[in-house]
Amino acid sequence: MDSRTSATSLFRQTGPSVDPVAFRPGPSPSHGLPLPATPQQLDTPTPQHDEDHAEPHRYRTIWLSDIHLGSSGCQAPYLLDFLRHNESEYLYLVGDIIDGWQLKKGWYWPQAHNDVVQKVLRKARKGTQVVYVPGNHDEAARQFCDLAFGDIHVRGEAFHTTLAGKRLWIVHGDLFDGVIQHAKWLAYLGDTLYTMILILNRWFNRIRSRLGFPYWSLSQYLKHQVKNAVNFISSFERVMTDEARRRGCDGVVCGHIHKAEIRDIDGVLYCNDGDWVESLSALVETYEGELKVIYWTVMRAPQAGVQKARATA
């Protein structure tokens, strides 16, 4: 199979338009939105070995963002391992799933990236309600908002109600980033420098792996030592929670800044699901109504590391 077919099928094969409102989850997958397109058009499987894995852990909801498929920094093998070991009723893809900026510079699409796409498509076909909220690196997909690609529904934003009745606003976050909106040339420059740091991070972790050490993000460590980066993150978190409050929501789930976090900011819950180029993290909602950040830095681990910061929602 042509490796480009699976990647670009997400942007080519649209189903009929669905009700153009923000996605709101129902009580179970059987009460979700209609599934307008034929899954067979999208889900041409590549060889998988899911049967070899233990029974997956089940969550009510999983949020993933900043995967950056199509870039060399994407940690696709770790993400594929995570997807094989974890299932959910709802799966939100919160932007920057495909890195259009990097693909414009040069085509990069190894089999592992294909496998991630196929795994998500298979989850949707088997009943997981998958909602895709594009970000700035996959902004081309925004022209398809309120349409469906097979069983995947594209939204500019979404709203999710937790088991405890908390209303969460789901958005990538780039539209509230002043650099992205008003100085895009600076964003492109920053992206180039960031790519160089990720290359360094990749080689650094190859050496660690050969020495028997687990994954550790050098790029994230360097970024968080820079005072301006720390100040930007703090400002971004404040802007997002202020906007969530203005929209009448109890909290926000976003991505964009590659820093997983759960914390209360003046009575509004701020959740960031992190990324799959540095922190290898996801946000999950358990069937006990708890929100947690999970780090998947060890392949096929029986238990993933769970962030100490938690919130009941």
Query: Residue 283 in 3-state DSSP?
Result: strand
Q: What is the DSSP string of 50-108?
A: GGGSPPPEEEEEEEE----BTSTT--HHHHHHHHHHEEEEEEEE-S-SB-HHHHHHS--
Residue 198 maps to a domain: no
Query: Residue 225 in 3-state DSSP?
Result: helix
Per-residue confidence of the chain (313 residues) as pLDDT tens digits? 444 434 334 443 333 333 334 445 544 333 333 333 333 433 444 444 444 457 899 999 999 999 999 999 999 999 999 999 999 999 999 999 999 989 999 999 999 999 999 999 999 999 999 999 999 999 999 999 999 988 999 999 999 999 999 999 999 998 986 434 434 434 454 556 666 666 677 777 778 777 887 877 766 665 565 545 555 567 889 999 999 999 999 999 999 999 999 999 999 999 999 999 989 999 999 999 999 999 999 887 444 444 444 554 5
Q: How many domains does the chain divide into?
A: 1
pTM score: 0.70
Containing H/E element for 117?
helix 111-125
* C-alpha–C-alpha distance, residues 251 and 162, integer Å: 11
Q: What is the CATH number of the domain that holds 30?
A: 3.60.21.10
Which domain, by its residues, includes 15?
3-179+222-312
Residue 125 maps to a domain: yes
Residue 207 maps to a domain: no
Strand positions, DSSP E, the chain: 57-64, 86-93, 129-132, 148-149, 152-154, 158-161, 167-170, 251-254, 261-265, 268-272, 281-285, 290-295, 305-312
* C-alpha–C-alpha distance, residues 265 and 179, integer Å: 23
